[in-house]
Structure 1
């Protein structure tokens, strides 16, 4: 009767040791699978690409973010600048840079509004990049490729008259693949007219 508990204890110790070995092996397997999955995900991200339709859709969304933040920041700048300059003391006998003070203060309020316009565009772009953080590397890559295509395919700007500038020099109006093809046709047409007067 005294031997049975000893056998039970010894087998339980063996099972605990075996269980510990199994747990360590299982943990090592999880760690190995985690790093293999991480490497696989990294390779997938490297090989992942974005088609042009998705790029133009994201580009349009980025433009919407910028415009959405431009409106309140411009209004805030105008109202803040107007409030600040309206509470300044006016001396009709004094001038600033040879101009009337009211005119200078009004121009100052408009200037603050323009600063708010540019700040709103920057804030909208930053928030867009934070919201779409996963697509940010691909979007940057596509931005570079799109700009290189614009530089490569636009008409030569040297010698063009100021009265007839190159249409959409930076490709800002391109919002789809169809717009890009239309832009290419316009560039070829402009080049043909500039070179051969046809």
Structure 2
């Protein structure tokens, strides 16, 4: 008899409060990782909600896409900028905007690498969104909810000191629900230290 799978919704407490969580039922669902079911879950276009563990997994996948394109684009930008500026006529007696030519060419090469880095992140994000087009509306919704909660729960930035900055101000290091709870504890601790100077 073939195994029957089903989709069920349940109310659960999480960082978004009360959010419907979609679970995939099956005899090995507790052992299966999210990535093994990623393609199958994306086929359910009618899904209205996404659980936070799935969101953080997709967020990590998006970051991998960005890194995968950032590395080659940065190298290409560096090599392209270096090639362009080394082909220019060099006269040590001439200045560019009152600055030595070597310094200007060096800055231009570094700027080309940084431009390649930025373009790689953009291209990686675009490709990720096209590959996971079914999950894109839910991911955008969860992004808005996540950053709203980051802005709501982070420590007061007016007490931010250069010697003691707010830990992970934008929540970039949060990769799971456990990381989010740890981030909340750090924000409360920072607020307490700033308020009572302890």
- How would you bin the TM-score normalised by the shorter chain? 0.7 to 0.9
Deviations 1:20-57 (A, max 9, x none): xxxxxxxxxxxxxxxxxxxxxxxx85662110000000
The residue matched to 1:134 in structure 2 has which SS? helix
Match of residue 80 from structure 2: 80
* Aligned-residue offset at 1:69: 0.2
Higher helix share: 1
Where do 5+ consecutive residues of structure 2 fail to align? 1-43
**Larger CA Rg, structure 1 vs 2:** 1
CA RMSD of aligned residues (A): 1.3
Runs (4+) of structure 1 exceeding 3 A deviation are: 44-47
| CA deviation vs aligned residue, 1:55-114 (integer Å, no higher than 9, x gap) | 000000000000000000001011111111111111121011222112211111111111
Contact kept? 2:45, 2:134, Cα under 8 Å: no
1:100 alignment counterpart: 100
**What does residue range 8-19 of structure 1 map to in structure 2 within 5 Å?**
none
Alignment of 1:1-198 (within 5 A): 48-198=48-198
State the TM-score, normalized to the length of structure 1: 0.75
- SS of residue matched to 1:108: helix
Q: How many residues align?
A: 155
Secondary structure at 1:158 match in 2: helix
Query: Residues 45 and 68 from structure 1, CA distance in 2 versus in 1: closer, same or farther, beyond 3 angstroms?
Result: closer
Aligned in 2, Cα 1:47/1:69: closer, same or farther, shift over 3 Å? closer
Higher strand share: 2
* SS of match in other structure, 1:161: coil
